[in-house]
Structures are given as structure tokens and as C-alpha cells.
């Protein structure tokens, strides 16, 4: 079976959109629960679904901080220098993999003029900028 492209899109479809459609259909055609009970069930589902959605990327792709920790540990008691860690991390997979995922998820469009954000990409960028401003924090370091 072909692996779905992107990361955010398939997760949202499987764990949020599809179950919500199923609940909507159930409410309309097979009303097993009354609307409020269904809303409570959906809330519980969302609370558990977001746990998986947030955990999956850690399993599917590398987390640089985890990689640094394991590289430092495998270096033994003498530890690892920053230069050694930078060499072992490798630029291509760190940034390149993220860029291609953003394109596959429909957040970024690449054209001859360069890269631009889709509406979803803009919304995400604004949401994170606003959130950090609300907390009184500066831009994240990445």
C-alpha cells in the first residue's frame, strides 16, 4: 500500500475529519446518542486523538533534540563537541525533510518566483506568532 504523502493532512483526515463526519452522519441517520452526549463523546475523542497526532511526528521523523541527546550519550563520558554534533546532524535531512513535508501538506507552494504560503500556511504562521505574542514571548528559535 502506498504511504500517504505529507504528515499533518493524513493525521487530520484519519483522526479528526473522518470521525467527525461519522459522528455527524450518526447524529443524522442513526441517533444512538442525544446531541449533548455526542458532543461529550466527540470532546473525549478529540482529547485522545490530539495526543496521537502530536506524538506521531516524533515516531515518524527525527527530533533533532532527541538525536543530539543520543549522540551525546553515545559519545561516552568524554561527551561530544558542538562541531561534532553539527557534522553528525547533517543539513539535508534537517531542513530538507521539513520543507518537502510542508509542500506535501499544502502549507507551502514552490514556483519559479519562489516559495509562498497557502491560506492554511498563512493561518498557521499567524496563529503561532499571535500565540507567542500573547504569552509575551519572542519568536521561537526553531
Partner 1 sequence: MQIKWMLLGLAWASLPLLLVVHGLLVRVLKGKSGQNVVLLAILAGNLPFLALSVWCLWPMRPQLLLPLLAYLLVVYQGFGYAYFHFYNMSETARRIRLLILIYQGRLKRSEEAASAYSPEEMVRNRLGRLTAMGQLTQNEVGRYVAKGGILLFAAKMIAAYRQLLGLDDWCKS
Q: Which of residues 31-60 bind partner 1 (CB under 8 A)?
A: 36-37, 39-40, 43-44, 46-48, 50-51, 53-54, 58-59
Least Å from the CB of residue 109 to partner 1: 10
Considering the rule CB under 8 A, would residue 99 count as an interface residue with partner 1? yes
Number of chain residues interacting with partner 1 (CB under 8 A): 73
116 touches partner 1 by CB under 8 A: yes
Q: Does 22 bind partner 1 (CB under 8 A)?
A: no
| Set of cell numbers at residue 134 | 500573547
Angstrom CA distances, 8 to 4, 61, 102, 116, stand at 11, 12, 9, 18
- Minimum distance of partner 1 from residue 78's CB (angstroms): 6
CB of 24 to partner 1, least distance (A): 17
Angle between the 64-74 and 82-89 helix axes, to the nearest 10 degrees? 120
Task: Please tell me whether residue 21 binds partner 1 under the rule CB under 8 A.
Answer: no
Element (H, E) at 3: none
Is residue 17 part of the contact set for partner 1 (CB under 8 A)? no
| Measured distance CA(10)–CA(53) in Å, rounded | 10
Residue 81 lies near partner 1 (rule: CB under 8 A):
yes
Candidates 1, 30, 65, 119; binder of partner 1 (CB under 8 A) is: 65
Residue 140 in contact with residue 128, Cβ under 8 Å?
A: yes
Q: Which of 13, 16, 98, 106 binds partner 1 (CB under 8 A)?
A: 98
Please enumerate in sequence order all residues whose Cβ is within 8 A of that of 72, keeping only pairs 6 or more positions apart, or say none: 79, 80, 85
All three cell numbers of 13, joined, read 483526515
Amino acid at each position: 500500500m502506498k504511504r500517504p504523502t505529507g504528515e499533518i493532512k493524513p493525521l487530520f483526515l484519519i483522526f479528526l475529519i473522518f470521525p467527525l463526519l461519522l459522528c455527524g452522519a450518526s447524529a443524522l441517520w442513526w441517533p444512538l446518542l442525544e446531541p449533548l452526549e455526542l458532543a461529550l463523546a466527540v470532546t473525549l475523542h478529540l482529547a485522545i486523538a490530539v495526543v496521537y497526532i502530536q506524538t506521531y511526528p516524533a515516531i515518524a521523523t527525527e527530533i533533532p533534540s532527541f538525536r543530539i541527546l543520543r549522540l551525546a550519550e553515545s559519545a561516552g563520558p568524554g561527551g561530544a563537541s558542538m562541531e561534532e554534533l553539527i557534522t553528525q546532524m547533517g543539513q539535508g535531512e534537517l531542513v530538507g525533510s521539513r520543507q518537502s513535508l510542508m509542500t506535501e501538506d499544502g502549507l507551502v507552494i514552490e514556483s519559479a518566483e519562489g516559495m509562498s504560503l497557502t491560506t492554511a500556511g498563512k493561518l498557521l504562521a499567524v496563529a503561532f506568532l499571535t500565540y507567542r505574542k500573547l504569552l509575551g514571548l519572542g519568536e521561537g528559535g526553531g
